[in-house]
Structure 1
Amino acid sequence: MRRPFARALMAVITAFSVGCGLHAAPAGAAPAEEASPVAHLVGKRWIGKQLLEVKVYSPSMKRVITNQVMTPRGMKRAPVFYLLSGMYGGDGDQWAHPASGARGFFKDKDVYVVNPMGAASTYYTDWYRKDRVLGYKPMWETYLSKELPPVINHTLNTTGRNAIGGYSMSAGTALALLANHGDVFKAGASYSGCPVSSNLPMKMVTMNSMILNTPGVNPLNAYAGLISPAWIHNDPALHMSQLRGKPIFISASTGKPKMPPDDHDMRKQPDYSLLEQNIYLCTALFRGMADAAGVKYEFFNQPYGAHSFGQFGQAMRKSWPMIARALHTAI
């Protein structure tokens, strides 16, 4: 995470009260050499111990998407946990960041952990049109719900059961995918994100975060304006009936410093603490709406910690028992 983006985004969030996001590097997906009407495996290779790189062609985005997969020992039969990233969109550190502790945590778990890469500044949603700066038309909801899971299930030794989680930019998206594609995902987790996204303040935060993160990107290419039905579609807070009865995990911190483990000195980066404080307020809004609708969820109230990989990793580990039960695998 880089400070200029967080500082700039905080100016937006302070003005509108709540928000979420991280800085990102350019998208890492490469255009496909040959078009195909169906998603398919392009290639796979080992890039580390229990770490597989799986390349999948996405017909909706007309490009090859790189996915990093943490595998169980012996490639045994196991379910799949899709972990989405922040504004980097999987490029750069993300879940591989040492402070998250993800690789060490999952090395002895019976689960395949899939991290799709190349979604910087897209919120992992389906866009209205191609963006000139991004160089493609993001169709991440289609990819995650319809294209990638069948390829992963065919390529790896999976049970066919899936769960999904995300942090910061992708936290709300993970719950929206759970709501809109309950046939694909059995549980969802939101780590330090804002799962309320269709009110006017959050619309402005979302669009401004895209611009701050990837200068030149046109946020109108995403949802075609402020009154597009896509805003409602991608807001999990407006799909409580579809979330009812599903395992849901949400977490956020008060933003107070002094919480180990963390990957930076929060005393020197107060912008990330303030960012997390606003996310805490947004999460509280979602919780209130869920309570009113009778939707049950598990909430991890982190008393300390900034918007950081250490924070996300701690929440992810806390969510695992719930995720594991939904996936029918050992905790």
Structure 2
Amino acid sequence: MRIGRPRFSDRLKRRVLGLSAAALVLPLAAGIAGTAVAGAAPVAHRAPAGGFEEVMVPSSMGPIKVQIQWASRGGDAALYLLDGLRARNDRNAWSFETNALDQFRNDNVTLVMPVGGESSFYSDWISPSNFNGQDGTYKWETFLTKELPDYLETRGVSRSNNGILGLSMGGSAALTLAAYHRDQFKFAASLSGYLNISAPGMREAIRVAMLDAGRYNVDAMWGPPWSKAWLRNDPFVFAPKLKGLSMYVSAASGLPGQYDRPSSAIDYYNTANGMALEALSLANTRAFQVRLGTLGIPATYNFPATGVHSWRYWQDELGNARGQILDALNAR
């Protein structure tokens, strides 16, 4: 039997069925496509122009809060501000212990203030601290040099036009992160940092300090004192990697100054403690200065005649470094 062309009525039925199927499929496909787009991170070409925001940024450590003051004119430069050894989990102390936000409010640079990291040295640790039952392993270097820049890039912040500044623990970490991530940072500053941690007694002092600040086991950070990880994180040792970097380095004398007015027993204790910590930082910083000098690497130094290890002095030093920061990041 010869098969002929389908009759017109058959062809019409098939077309109607095809259109009906398409009508069912298209809304489903549209729904799937809409979900994918909604889940994607928005990519902005410019950062917001001014304003303050708190965001939660995904990381291997879980969501990390980051406080952000956006560049006043939507520029792509950013300054990371690192906290000290007793970093809190609710706010970065630069946001409330100092007037950092006011200092840079009219400048074309975004302030990036990560929250947390007590006793971390903002480093990638080997394992969780077993002394205090830490849930996960600190991975702060990964966060600050990969995960956080990934997020900031979606908000218009450059991956390569950044500065980093910290005090005490954060000062040492700022130089470490800048040294190993030169493609990210054009400026680094250490305020009262510990920049010669291979000096006699320093590793033991760090161990004691971290036990006092959260009962952290320093061996979970860089391993035993003879581990190469200690050398990797010692600014005195990796100093050659800092060549060509714009740097601001300071430490005060440890003598009480204009902001020290103890009136109670706890005030006197805190002042004495601040004096000792600052004197130790000064010895470290002076040694680091000599090291850079022998290598022919320039930096801006400031050694105030008075001042202890406390926030009002670091606020002043941030103000002293501000012009150099803006110039290095072309953010005036």
TM-score, normalising length from structure 1? 0.78
**Counterpart-to-counterpart distance in 1, 2:88 and 2:189:** 17
Give the alignment of 1:310-325 within 5 angstroms: 310-325=312-327
Unaligned segments of structure 1, at least 5 residues: 1-39, 43-48
Give the conservation status (yes or no) of the 8 Å contact 1:166–1:172.
yes
The answer to which of 128-137 and 203-212 deviates more is: 128-137
1:197 aligns with 2:197: yes
> Following TM superposition, by how much is the alpha carbon of 1:275 offset from its aligned partner in structure 2, in angstroms?
1.8
Aligned to 1:83, what secondary structure does the other structure show? strand
The answer to which of 145-154 and 129-138 deviates more is: 129-138
**Counterpart-to-counterpart distance in 2, 1:157 and 1:300:** 30
1:244 aligns with 2:243: yes
**Counterpart-to-counterpart distance in 2, 1:310 and 1:264:** 14
Alignment correspondent of 2:56: 55
Aligned to 1:114, what secondary structure does the other structure show? strand
| Cα-to-partner distance string for 1:6-48 (whole Å, 9 max, x where unaligned) | xxxxxxxxxxxxxxxxxxxxxxxxxxxxxxxxxx979xxxxxx
Aligned to 1:177, what secondary structure does the other structure show? helix
Give the alignment of 1:162-173 within 5 angstroms: 162-173=162-173
Give the alignment of 1:25-174 within 5 angstroms: 50-59=51-60, 61=61, 63-73=62-72, 76-91=74-89, 94-98=93-97, 100-132=98-130, 133=132, 134-156=134-156, 158=158, 160-174=160-174
Task: State the Cα RMSD in Å.
Answer: 2.3
Unaligned segments of structure 2, at least 5 residues: 1-39, 43-49
Aligned to 1:311, what secondary structure does the other structure show? helix
**Counterpart-to-counterpart distance in 2, 1:166 and 1:41:** 30
**Counterpart-to-counterpart distance in 2, 1:87 and 1:168:** 7
Give the conservation status (yes or no) of the 8 Å contact 1:165–1:174.
yes
| Cα-to-partner distance string for 1:251-303 (whole Å, 9 max, x where unaligned) | 1101222324x697776622212221221111111111111111111001112
| Cα-to-partner distance string for 1:212-237 (whole Å, 9 max, x where unaligned) | 1112x222111121111111111121
**Counterpart-to-counterpart distance in 2, 1:328 and 1:89:** 30
| Cα-to-partner distance string for 1:98-153 (whole Å, 9 max, x where unaligned) | 4x221211111111111111100111111011224332100111111122112112
**Whose Rg is larger?**
2
Q: Partner letter of residue 183 of structure 1?
A: D
**Counterpart-to-counterpart distance in 1, 2:236 and 2:164:** 17
Q: Partner letter of residue 307 of structure 2?
A: G
**Counterpart-to-counterpart distance in 2, 1:112 and 1:309:** 21
Call closer, same or farther: CA 1:291–1:157 in 2, change over 3 Å.
closer
Give the conservation status (yes or no) of the 8 Å contact 1:82–1:165.
yes
Call closer, same or farther: CA 1:320–1:90 in 2, change over 3 Å.
farther
Alignment correspondent of 2:185: 185
**Counterpart-to-counterpart distance in 1, 2:205 and 2:297:** 26
> Following TM superposition, by how much is the alpha carbon of 1:240 offset from its aligned partner in structure 2, in angstroms?
2.2
Higher relative contact order (CA 8 A, sep 6+): 1
**Counterpart-to-counterpart distance in 2, 1:317 and 1:197:** 27
Q: Partner letter of residue 289 of structure 1?
A: R
Call closer, same or farther: CA 1:177–1:41 in 2, change over 3 Å.
farther
Aligned to 1:103, what secondary structure does the other structure show? helix
**Counterpart-to-counterpart distance in 1, 2:195 and 2:256:** 24
Call closer, same or farther: CA 1:170–1:299 in 2, change over 3 Å.
same
Q: Partner letter of residue 136 of structure 2?
A: Y
Q: Partner letter of residue 242 of structure 2?
A: L
Aligned to 2:146, what secondary structure does the other structure show? helix
Give the conservation status (yes or no) of the 8 Å contact 1:251–1:299.
yes
Give the conservation status (yes or no) of the 8 Å contact 2:161–2:186.
yes
Alignment correspondent of 2:309: 307
Give the conservation status (yes or no) of the 8 Å contact 1:164–1:174.
yes
Q: Partner letter of residue 122 of structure 2?
A: Y
> Following TM superposition, by how much is the alpha carbon of 1:160 offset from its aligned partner in structure 2, in angstroms?
4.6
Alignment correspondent of 2:282: 280
> Following TM superposition, by how much is the alpha carbon of 1:170 offset from its aligned partner in structure 2, in angstroms?
1.1
Alignment correspondent of 2:252: 253
